[in-house]
Structure 1
Amino acid sequence: MLRFFRKIRQNLLAENKFTKYLFYALGEIILVVIGILIALAINNANQKRLTEKNEETYLIGLKEEFQTSKLKLKELIAVNQSNYTGAKQILKYTNANAMPPSEDLFSKVLYSTFSTDIAFNPNNSLLQEMINSGNLKNLSNPELRIQLTNWVSTIEDIRRQEEELGIQRIKVLDMFRTNNYSLRTIFEKAGVSESLGLPNTEITESNLSLLDSKEFENNVLMFIITSYATEEVHYRPLMQDLDKILKLIDIKK
């Protein structure tokens, strides 16, 4: 095509038809520009389709991750509730007017309340990959990008709160590192000695005197307060963030 126009230009110049030559030259330029614009439009359209396809893949993966994280958080909230409910039951036993529990019951409540540590471990592998590779910016929804960015910092706050809760839990457990109280009694009365592979013993030491310890009562109180704050100030707002992120993902899809 360009060779054809070049030949016409040469003929026009040879015939001294300069005006027509300019028109043909201008036509060539316009055709070249149109060709470039069409090529750019096709390239942009292809790039847009590729970007949208990649975004769709990321959204599907993110939805799976956050749905799994939501299930984990629900289970963790239930465990935390069980822990501080048990701790409140123990606190009732410390009341001087309350009927003391049996050794078996006290051991079971102690074990169920303080044997489980609390730690939220969300599925964030895809999100971290997107952040590290810079692909988070390819999500077209700016609100979703903001929520995902905030999610990372929120998880860090959650971890600090869980560390504090762990410290309060350890303070209660530390009271059994002395000669005054017996972990073995708790394991045997709670029925877990066999599963732990511990040898049986015929002599058990009572832990009921803990209920008269102000230090024990204070430690249990701090555990209750920290557990409650972990749920109300951290886990429940985090659940709201999870729901909002999942909703934003579904809106895009």
Structure 2
Amino acid sequence: MIKFFRKIRQKMLTENKFSKYLIYAFGEILLVVIGILIALSINNWNENQIEIKTVHNYLKKIESNIQQDLKMSQNLLEFRINHSSQCAEASKMLINRDFSDQATIQSAVLGLLIEIPLNFNRSAFESLKSSGNLSKIENSNIENLIYDYYNLVDNIENQENDLLKWCNELELELDKNGFGYKWLELDTKIHQDLTKQITLYNDKLCEHPGHLIIATLLFRGATNTTFLTPLYENQIKAGEKLSQAIKNYVNHK
């Protein structure tokens, strides 16, 4: 092709067709420039498609993480609601010195002292941030929804950790004043299951200084529907909204 154009140029010069040669040379340069622009355009388009695909893959992984989070949050929400109800019922029992339902009292107290496993999955979100592709999401609403969602997740973790820390501090007080050994016969039943170690809650325990701590724990547990369950409800709603927004974005790009 190059030899072909060269022959044409030489023929025009030998035939003294200089003006035509200039026009032809200009046209040839123009074709080369157009070719370069087309090549650059194709290259930019390819790079853009790669970026879009990369961002989509990150968003799909985030959406998958969210689905896992929502299953866990739904279970924890149900646990908190049921446990708050147990704590409220157990509080009434202790106030009325009604020990007929020992299972409710035991379950309510132990539910506050056990550590709730929180395994929110941030891996895809953290990978997206560190990759530098977060700013390449063309829908700014999705970026806002992502940050809103993980802010709610952070809030839940902080509240749950604060509650556990507070409960553990009170548990230490129970151990110091000997209440644990009064209610849990740890010295004689150390090899038994924890639920089998628990003796009956009775009037003698109500006279013990540790009883006030138990009452405080139960009152706090009963108020979880005010403090904790709304956080889970908001996080679940935000997660569902973000999940749907990601699906719409990925499927329509």
TM class, shorter-chain normalised? 0.7 to 0.9
Cα displacement (A) at 1:132:
1.1
Deviation at 1:69, TM superposition (A): 0.7
Separation in 1 of the partners of 2:53 and 2:214?
58
Q: Any idea what the Cα deviations from partners look like across 1:124-150, whole Å, max 9, x if unmatched? A: 211111111112233333211221233
Alignment match of 2:135 (pick from 134, 137, 161): 137
Indicate conservation of the 8 Å contact 1:84/1:228, yes or no. Answer: no
Counterpart in 2 of 1:66?
66
Alignment CA distance shift 1:192-1:247 (3 Å): farther
Q: Which residue is equivalent to 2:157?
A: 159
Per-residue deviation, 1:101: 0.8
Q: Distance in 2 between matches of 1:87 and 1:52?
A: 51
The counterpart of 1:177, out of the listed 172, 175, 180, is 175
Q: Which residue in 2 is equivalent to 1:242?
A: 239
SS of the aligned residue for 1:123 comes to coil
How far did 1:11 drift? 3.2
The total of aligned residue pairs comes to 247
Which sits farther off after the overlay, 173-182 or 205-214? Answer: 205-214
What aligned pairs does 1:1-253 form with structure 2 within 5 A after superposition? 1-95=1-95, 98-102=96-100, 104-105=102-103, 108-183=106-181, 185-186=183-184, 194-195=192-193, 207-209=205-207, 213-225=211-223, 228-232=226-230, 234-252=231-249, 253=251
User: Shift of residue 65 of structure 1?
Assistant: 1.1
Amino acid corresponding to residue 22 of structure 2 in structure 1: L
Specify the SS of the correspondent of 1:207.
Answer: helix
Cα displacement string for residues 156-179 of structure 1 (whole angstroms, at most 9, x for unaligned residues): 322222222123322442342134
Name the aligned partner's letter for residue 45 of structure 1: W
Q: 1:41 to 1:31 in 2, by over 3 A?
A: same
Shift of residue 242 of structure 1? Answer: 0.3
- Provide the rounded CA distance (Å) in 2 between the counterparts of 1:158 and 1:134: 27
Q: 1:100 to 1:212 in 2, by over 3 A?
A: farther
Over aligned residues, Cα RMSD in angstroms?
3.5
TM-score when scaled to structure 1?
0.79
Report the Cα distance in structure 1 between the residues aligned to 2:104 and 2:42, rounded to whole angstroms.
Answer: 74
Q: TM-score, normalised by structure 2?
A: 0.79
Instruction: Confirm or deny: 8 A CA contact 1:87 1:224 kept in the other structure.
Output: yes
Q: Secondary structure at the match of 2:21?
A: helix
The 2-side partners of 1:46 and 1:164 are apart by 50
SS at match of 2:223: helix
Structure 1: stretches of 5+ with no match in the other structure: none
Identity %: 24
- Match for 1:137: what amino acid? S
Amino acid aligned to 1:238: Q
Q: Name the amino acid aligned to 1:194.
A: Q
- Contact 2:113–2:168 (Cα < 8 Å) also in 1: no
Are 1:147 and 1:245, in contact at CA under 8 Å, matched by a contact in 2?
yes
